[in-house]
Amino acid sequence: MAYSRNREYRVSISLPKSIFRLLFFLALSVVSLGAQETARRYTETHGQKVATVEYRVARTAEGVTASSTGGETTSSIRWHQGTGTYDWQMADPAAGSVLHGERSGDVIHVTGTLKNRKVDRDVRVDGAPWYQVFGPLMDELLVAGLDQKEFWVVNPGDLAPHKMQVKRAGRERITLRGSAIDAVRIHFSPAGALAPFWGADFWYRQSDGLYVSSRLPENGGTTVTSIEDPSQ
């Protein structure tokens, strides 16, 4: 179960990659216009594979937009405090899909192309928040004073909804690139009886809640992510 950046799901489209990426980032720029935006780069390691991912978070009075970019894969969500994700866009031009999801009530309506096939599907959930880009918006999902929360994630490989839970798991001092960081550990797992069988850990700096590191089991191994500049 790997939902952090949708990186393992390869999708393609008919537009040239460079043109699509330009359109995607123009859309993000319009959404983020007038927002206070931060950008952080992270290194992901999975076995011998090393990749760089950039997360951007833009905050406005209306809500938050978070996006991730790694290689040709892009994903973004728009978020309302108290209700979670209401808009999701994902594209991976390497193999054929572009997805757009919009939530209304307890229905996430997904359109676009999935593995070179057109989709137009209603994904039914309950009232729990929807959280699609793991990492940078933990302070929105697990607000101060809340120790545990259930939420939904949509698998971008088949659009199946999965009920997940997130818990505070204590405070730790970790070392990243030679820098000691006082962090809060957050544990993700499936909700209910499946919780013991899969789990991921994310660390956030105590002083400001910045996402600094994670360990995510996937694809027969573990993806380890860490911020490139811990001094930020």
Q: What is the pLDDT of residues 137-155, one digit of tens each?
A: 888 888 878 899 999 999 9
Q: Which residues of 104-138 are buried (b: 16+ CB within 10 A; e: fewer)?
A: eeeebebebbbeeeeeeeebebeebbbbbbbbbbb
Q: What is the pLDDT of residues 1-59, one digit of tens each?
A: 434 444 432 323 333 444 444 444 444 444 444 568 899 999 999 999 999 999 999 99
pTM value is 0.81
Beta bridge partners of 48: none
Q: End-to-end distance of the chain based on CA atoms, in angstroms?
A: 30
Which segment, 59-63, 217-221, 224-228, is predicted with the most confidence on average? 224-228
Q: State mean pLDDT over 63-82.
A: 91
